[in-house]
C-alpha cells in the first residue's frame, strides 16, 4: 500500500513536470488531482515541498514583491523540477507493481498516464481491474450475508457493489482501448448531423 507521502510526492512532481507553479496554484491543482476526498492543507504541502527541495528534486525561485501600490507586497515563491526531479518522476511513473493499483495511488497515477509508456499503463490498468474483481467478490459475499439486517447497511453494501461494477466496466473499456481493441474513452456515441 502506498503511503500518503509517496502519493503526494508523485502528484507534486507530476504537476511541476508540466510547468513551475507557486504554492497557492500548486495546492489548488493538487486538490484537483488528489480528488474531492483528500483536500490538502498548506500544513501538509509545505513540509512536503521542503522535503522534495532538500532531496534536490525541486527548487524554489523567489520572485520579487509586486510593485508598490499593488495588492501584494510579499515575495512569491515558484517551485520547479530539477533534472533529478524529472528523473524521479519518470522512475515513479515507470512502476507498475501492486502499490500502483491501490485506491490511494491509482487516481494520482492515472492523472499522469499521458506521460507513461503504453505497456506500463496496460499493466497498471489490468492490475487495478484484478484488484477490483477480488474486491467485488468480497463485497458481494458481504451483501449476501447481510440479508435481513439493517436496511441502510445493506443499501450501503449494494452501493459498493454497483460502484465497483461501474469501475470494472470503465477499466475494461480503457484496457481495450490501450490494446487497440476498442474506442478511446473520449469517443462519443452521438451521431453526426450527416449520419
13-61 pLDDT tens trace: 999 999 999 988 999 999 888 875 677 888 889 999 999 999 999 999 9
pLDDT in tens, 125-154: 999 999 999 989 888 887 777 766 678 888
Find all residues with CB under 8 Å of 186, minimum gap 6, and list them: none
Q: Where are the domains of the chain?
A: 4-67+74-101, 117-178
Q: Supply angle C-alpha 173, 179, 180, rounded to 5.
A: 85
> Can you give the pLDDT at residue 187?
42
pLDDT of 10 over the 50 cut: yes
DSSP 120-179: HHHHHHHHHHHHHHHHHHHHHHHHHHTTTS-HHHHHHHHHHHHHHHHHHHHHHHHHHHHT
DSSP 64-119: PPPPTTSS--S-EEEEEE-HHHHHHHHHHHT--SGGGGSHHHHHHHHHTGGGS-HH
For 60, the 3-state DSSP assignment is strand
- Give the pLDDT score at 83: 97
In tens, the pLDDT along 56-105 reads 999 999 877 666 665 656 778 899 999 999 999 999 999 999 999 888 78
Where residue 178 falls (left for φ over 0; alpha for ψ -120 to 50; beta otherwise) is: alpha
> Looking at the domain covering 4-67+74-101, what would its CATH class be?
mainly alpha
- Look at residue 16 in the predicted model and tell me its pLDDT: 96
Give the total residue count for the chain.
195
Q: Please answer whether residues 37 and 135 qualify as being in contact, where contact means their C-beta atoms are separated by less than 8 angstroms.
A: no
Amino acid at each position: 500500500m502506498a503511503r500518503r507521502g509517496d502519493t503526494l510526492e508523485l502528484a507534486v512532481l507530476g504537476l511541476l513536470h508540466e510547468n513551475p507553479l507557486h504554492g497557492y496554484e500548486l495546492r489548488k491543482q493538487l486538490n484537483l488531482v488528489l480528488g474531492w476526498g483528500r483536500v490538502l492543507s498548506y500544513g501538509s504541502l509545505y513540509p512536503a515541498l521542503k522535503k522534495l527541495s532538500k532531496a534536490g528534486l525541486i527548487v524554489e525561485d523567489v520572485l520579487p514583491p509586486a510593485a508598490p501600490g499593488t495588492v501584494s507586497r510579499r515575495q512569491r515563491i515558484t517551485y520547479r523540477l530539477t533534472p533529478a526531479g524529472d528523473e524521479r518522476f519518470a522512475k515513479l511513473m515507470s512502476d507498475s507493481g501492486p502499490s500502483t493499483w491501490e485506491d490511494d495511488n491509482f487516481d494520482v497515477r492515472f492523472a499522469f498516464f499521458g506521460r507513461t509508456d503504453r505497456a506500463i499503463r496496460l499493466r497498471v490498468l489490468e492490475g487495478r481491474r484484478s484488484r477490483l474483481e477480488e474486491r467485488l467478490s468480497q463485497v458481494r459475499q458481504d451483501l449476501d450475508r447481510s440479508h435481513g439486517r439493517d436496511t441502510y447497511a445493506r443499501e450501503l453494501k449494494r452501493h459498493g457493489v454497483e460502484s465497483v461494477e461501474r469501475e470494472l466496466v470503465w477499466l475494461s473499456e480503457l484496457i481495450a482501448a490501450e490494446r487497440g481493441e476498442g474506442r478511446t474513452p473520449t469517443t462519443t456515441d452521438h451521431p453526426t448531423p450527416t449520419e
